[in-house]
């Protein structure tokens, strides 16, 4: 996002999308697939137990066989950049050997050892196979597909996307750069609970931190209030500093409040209609009423702290680098982190005419992150990388699809 004063504010579409999935109609599951492949096989088979509270969140099922003419069933991108997927697998394998992973899997019915063995075998198949068709066939023989029940107990999962924004920032406060992000407080564990809210920590205008618990924790300063807030939603950022250098910041902790969407608040107040809500409407609203940021941002009680990461890649919640288009964020009550998964949904791409077009794709990914707005079996956030192009795509990623975890047959 180009940094500008509130009088001429420009809001990054993709960053804003992460907090504004209300009111935007997702693309249908298989709108872009050939007619002969619009089959119920991608949906979850009917479940015998009809009591929602007793349903599992993951259901084992036979692998989904590709239609003869449905190339979207295959992860064609795997063989365009096999190195990236291998690197992402290695990050998960490294994580699974940590104490953090041991603790994460203690209460799971799926063992850490099975996930590790599944990743190892998937990696071997990825190296030994020569095509997407060959890899898919090998996985069908050796793996069980554990499908998420989704939002509707039929397997429907809502996909959004996130990315690492690039902003201009200052190491020192100035008349122009007044809005900070903050370091993790060393004494946060001793803070009384419930923790202070965003409003109590930084004031309605975002400029009152010097009077309370955030004093002295300022890390970097920005030219408008929206940028540091959006970094809190995205979890990381690349910064171009006023002294000509560059650096990065990443998630360090939070105050444990549930995140509240700005878009939902605008709809609830009748400022914008839910039906037909889109990004131009939202952007136009804040261009007309920039002062309303001081009304709606404080309503989100959650607060995120950061650390300077000195140019390191954006990291997920398991402290490994996120890989563009190979890392996802999910609710970890669904599956402990690190596992390989298959996602299928319509995602936006920038074509040769520099226009956005949607393609229904299947993609092998690693579950390496989580997020405050990613709750339940029906939500996945898809990491698209760093910078403007990733941001353009993330901003229009809202579609229904399916999520399958891949584990070796017992």
* pLDDT 10s digits, 343-384: 999 999 999 998 889 999 999 999 999 887 788 999 999 999
Residue percentage of the chain with pLDDT more than 70: 85
pLDDT in tens, 57-110: 999 987 777 766 677 888 989 888 899 999 999 999 999 999 999 999 998 999
pLDDT value of residue 138: 95
pLDDT value of residue 278: 53
pLDDT in tens, 159-215: 989 899 999 999 999 999 999 999 999 999 999 999 999 999 999 999 998 889 999
CB 66 within 8 A of CB 118: no
pLDDT value of residue 49: 58
Task: Tell me the pTM.
Answer: 0.84
* Residue that is written with structure tokens 């914008």 in the block: 272
* Euclidean distance between CA atoms 70 and 283, whole angstroms: 38
Read off the pLDDT of each residue in 292-310 and give the average, rounded to a whole number. 95
pLDDT value of residue 3: 35
Question: Which residues are bridge partners to 247 per DSSP?
Answer: 239
Confidence of residue 277 (pLDDT cuts 50, 70, 90): low
Q: Is the pLDDT of residue 50 over 60?
A: no
Confidence of residue 35 (pLDDT cuts 50, 70, 90): low
Read off the pLDDT of each residue in 251-268 and give the average, rounded to a whole number. 87
Confidence of residue 307 (pLDDT cuts 50, 70, 90): very high
- Give the residue from 167, 160, 368 showing the smallest Cα distance to 249: 167
* Euclidean distance between CA atoms 399 and 343, whole angstroms: 12
* Euclidean distance between CA atoms 42 and 156, whole angstroms: 10
Q: Is the pLDDT of residue 14 over 60?
A: no
pLDDT value of residue 79: 85
Q: Are strands 304-308 and 246-254 parallel, antiparallel or unpaired?
A: antiparallel
Residue percentage of the chain with pLDDT more than 90: 61
pLDDT value of residue 4: 35
* Residue that is written with structure tokens 């959650």 in the block: 302
* Euclidean distance between CA atoms 62 and 71, whole angstroms: 19
Buried b (16+ CB within 10 A) or exposed e, 64-90: bebbeebbbbbbbbbbeeeeebbebbe
pLDDT value of residue 314: 94
Sheet holding 236-241, edge to edge: 166-169, 236-241, 246-254, 304-308
Other CB atoms within 10 A of residue 331 CB: 17
DSSP summary character for residue 38:
-
Other CB atoms within 10 A of residue 107 CB: 8
pLDDT value of residue 39: 54
pLDDT in tens, 173-188: 999 999 999 999 999 9
């Amino acid at each position: 996002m180009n940094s500008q004063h509130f009088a001429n504010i420009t809001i990054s579409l993709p960053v804003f999308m992460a907090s504004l999935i209300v009111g935007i109609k997702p693309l249908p599951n298989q709108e872009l697939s050939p007619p002969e492949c619009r089959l119920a096989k991608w949906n979850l088979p009917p479940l015998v137990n009809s009591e929602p509270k007793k349903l599992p969140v993951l259901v084992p099922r036979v692998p989904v066989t590709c239609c003869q003419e449905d190339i979207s069933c295959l992860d064609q991108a795997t063989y365009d950049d096999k190195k990236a997927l291998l690197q992402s697998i290695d990050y998960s394998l490294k994580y699974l050997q940590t104490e953090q992973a041991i603790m994460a899997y203690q209460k799971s019915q799926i063992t850490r050892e099975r996930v590790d063995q599944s990743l190892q075998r998937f990696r071997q198949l990825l190296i030994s196979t020569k095509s997407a068709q060959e890899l898919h066939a090998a996985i069908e023989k050796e793996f069980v597909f554990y499908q998420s029940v989704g939002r509707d107990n039929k397997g429907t999962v809502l996909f959004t996307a996130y990315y690492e924004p690039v902003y201009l920032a200052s190491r020192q406060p100035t008349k122009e750069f007044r809005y900070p992000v903050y370091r993790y407080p060393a004494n946060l564990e001793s803070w009384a609970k419930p923790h202070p809210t965003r409003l109590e920590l930084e004031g309605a205008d975002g400029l009152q931190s010097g009077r309370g618990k955030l004093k002295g924790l300022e890390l970097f300063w920005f030219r408008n209030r929206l940028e540091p807030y959006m970094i809190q939603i995205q979890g990381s950022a690349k910064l171009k500093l006023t002294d000509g250098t560059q650096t990065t910041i990443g998630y360090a902790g939070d105050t444990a409040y549930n995140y509240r969407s700005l878009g939902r608040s605008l709809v609830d107040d009748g400022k914008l209609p839910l039906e037909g809500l889109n990004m131009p409407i939202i952007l136009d609203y804040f261009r007309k009423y920039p002062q309303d940021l001081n009304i709606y941002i404080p309503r989100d009680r959650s607060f995120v702290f950061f650390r300077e990461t000195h140019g390191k890649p954006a990291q997920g919640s398991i402290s490994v680098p996120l890989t563009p288009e190979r890392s996802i964020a999910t609710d970890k009550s669904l599956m402990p982190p690190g596992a390989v998964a298959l996602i299928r949904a319509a995602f936006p791409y920038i074509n040769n005419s520099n226009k956005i077009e949607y393609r229904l794709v299947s993609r092998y990914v690693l579950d390496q992150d989580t997020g405050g707005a990613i709750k339940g079996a029906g939500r996945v956030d898809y990491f698209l990388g760093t910078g403007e192009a990733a941001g353009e795509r993330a901003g229009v990623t809202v579609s229904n699809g399916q999520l399958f975890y891949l584990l070796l047959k017992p």
